[in-house]
Amino acid sequence: METASGRELTEAEEENRTCAKCHTVLFSRYPHTWEGGTRMRAPGGSSMNSGEGRDFLLSRCSVELRCSNCHDPHAEDGPERLASLTGPRGTELCTTCHSQFRGQDRIRAHTRHAPDSPGSACIACHMPKKNLGLAYELTRYHRIGSPTDVERVEGDRPLECALCHVDRSVEQLVTTMERNWDKRYDRAKLRRLYGQDLSINALRATLLGGKPHEELAALGSLPLTETSVPAFQRAVDHEYPLVGLFAEARLQRVPRAPGSPEDEPRQEP
């Protein structure tokens, strides 16, 4: 089989297209996609479960990397298998092609994080958890790219670095990315996304003015604390039902104090 340009597909591409026959659908009428696109105009990656195959095909990695390098095509992936990809197994897989990043010193220089920290796990940055899964938890975005990509920084909320660095402002994160990876971002475009004051916390700004799928990413990354619970409570009544269901599911995981009314046994009428 050939691509539209006449190039022969690699074996990896043949396999990935087979997977994408099912895992490809922007299946709802929800109009927005990642990278600031929409379903009908310059569509980016899907924002919820079921589009992983399509999103992966939008990645340059799909020419050589196969879906089956990470997933068992004939059985459900166990949590241990998937979790292992955030450690040495995942780094080894990625550096099969990206050999310039082999070795702890090279990883540190590339990521600006300690080699053994979550910030140096390849998929933590290049496949961030920002999509809505079927179990009302965030799943990994399969359009492999970088949190420093201009179309993501200037087109999406929240900044992907904010998914881990939850206490940072928009300006802090963008300035750090510019310094560490020699990037430049348009502040006017960022103000259109986050408001005039870029000293605002990136997750908070997303909850105040983001699209529903962006709010989901912010809610999924925001730690559940006494000060953040009100944000989840407000989201329960969101006009977009999936946001409300997601917020409610997270609130149900909040540990309750012993003896609270919710812990009392229900009395039968």
Amino acid present at 192 = R
> Quick one: pLDDT at residue 132?
93
Low-confidence ranges of the chain (pLDDT < 70): 1-6, 26-27, 254-269
Give pLDDT, residue 262.
43
- Say whether pTM exceeds 0.85: yes
Looking at residue 35, its pLDDT comes to 95
pLDDT of residue 220: 96
- pLDDT the model gives residue 26: 67
Domain ranges across the chain: 9-75+84-145, 148-254
- Give residue 27's pLDDT: 61
> What does the alpha-carbon distance between residue 60 and residue 101 come to, in Å, rounded to a whole number?
17
Q: Which H helix or E strand runs over 129?
A: strand 129-132
Are 33 and 155 in contact, with CB atoms under 8 Å apart?
A: no
Give residue-wise pLDDT tens across range 247-265. 999 999 766 555 544 444 4
**Using N-to-C axis directions, what is the helix angle for 170-181 and 202-209, rounded to 10°?**
120
Beta-sheet pairing, 129-132 with 138-140: antiparallel
CA dihedral 224, 162, 45, 216 (to 10 degrees): 20
Cβ atoms 147, 128 nearer than 8 A: yes
pLDDT of residue 1: 62
Q: Which residue has the tokens 């992907």?
A: 160
